[in-house]
Amino acid sequence: MGLPGIQSSSLDTIGGTPLVRLSRVVPDGAADVLVKVEGGNPTGSYKDRMALAMIEGAERRGALRPGQRVVEFTGGSTGSSLAFVCAVKEYPLSIVTSDAFAPEKLRTMRAFGADVTVVPSDGGQITPDLFVRMREEVDRVIEREGAFWTDQFHNVDALTGYAVLGREILQQAGGDGVAVDVFCAGVGTAGMFAGVSAALRESGGPVRAVALEPTSSPMLTAGKAGPHRVEGIATGIVPPLLTPGSYDEGRAIDEAEARRLALPLARQEGIFTGTSGALNVAGALHLAREIGAGHIVVTVAPDTGLKYLTGDLFID
């Protein structure tokens, strides 16, 4: 976001991440696959973009007063990003999360000074009722503390933050004379997917937007939710920010296939990302095989694999 050199704030280091062409995991005869590598953001996640946009949007509207407590329920990356932004801007923060999510994320939130409430999961699985129970705890914090709820599932300021990501893709790909044919990514709040898709379509090209989800929780493709272990996506609802015009199709990707891809991505491409990033690339590879050589598929590696080292994702 800022110019090279000394930044006036660590918030100015958000964004400006690389766009990388995969070379070894893409099969012969397939379209090129470009990955926006977001692990270089300050907390190692693209959610830094959303957190800053939501807080600054609330400040501009006067919805967030100086020193007022902020609250959100989150699987971890949004919480880590909000903790970072609120620490810099001096807002107290309450995060409601769960033991279903990576412990590295919970530790990151606490490291930045957030007050963290952990709601027990059903055997470590991400289920629709888990988000209901987390939301109930948020309501208690709002009533008790008079907190400002960022409400990431409905907050349109998120689209502003993620539109910058989309414009970065256009600038980076366009510098090589590349026209994006397909954009695909997993959907959680859908802020990133909708914001990037809209920005890519502003270029005037016929970009096909494909929303991804795990086959075990096919809400978009089959109208039903289910348990899974892909953090950050498939929350059991069709998110409000995913409006009918924001995507062309939904597609379900096997979670086991995505997990098997995480190590090859790291060892063959140097792309070190979590389960949702691996699922995004798995979806991009499916689409690249379908549309064939001479075309471009773009996706996003949302975060760094450093957030998942205590789990089984990177075990042979």
Q: Residues 6 or more apart from 137 whose CB is under 8 A from it?
A: 73, 96, 117, 119
Look at the block and give the residue holding tokens 């977001």.
Answer: 38
Q: Given a cut of 70, is residue 176 above it in pLDDT?
A: no
47: annotated active-site residue: yes
Q: Given this model, what pLDDT does residue 22 score?
A: 98
- For 233-280, write each residue's pLDDT tens digit: 877 889 999 998 899 999 999 999 999 999 999 999 999 999 999 999
Please confirm, yes or no, whether 276 is among the known catalytic residues.
Answer: yes
Rounded Cα distance, 17 and 217, in Å: 30
| Residue 3, pLDDT above cutoff 60 | no
Whole-number pLDDT of residue 237: 86
- Which of 36, 47, 105, 307 is catalytic? The answer is 47
Structure tokens at 47: 């959610």
Q: Which of 81, 217, 276, 307 is catalytic?
A: 276
- pLDDT tens-digit readout, 4-58: 788 999 999 999 999 999 999 999 999 999 999 999 999 999 999 999 999 999 9
Q: Which residues pair with 251 in a beta bridge?
A: 212
Which domains, ranges and CATH numbers included, belong to the chain?
A: 10-40+163-308 (3.40.50.1100), 47-149 (3.40.50.1100)
Residue with tokens 């996003």: 300
Radius of gyration of the chain (CA): 18
Quote the mean pLDDT of the chain. 93
When pLDDT is cut at 50, 70 and 90, the band that residue 232 belongs to is confident
Q: How far apart are CA 99 and CA 105, in angstroms?
A: 10
Tell how strand 148-149 and strand 182-186 pair up: unpaired
Q: What is the pLDDT of residue 177?
A: 63
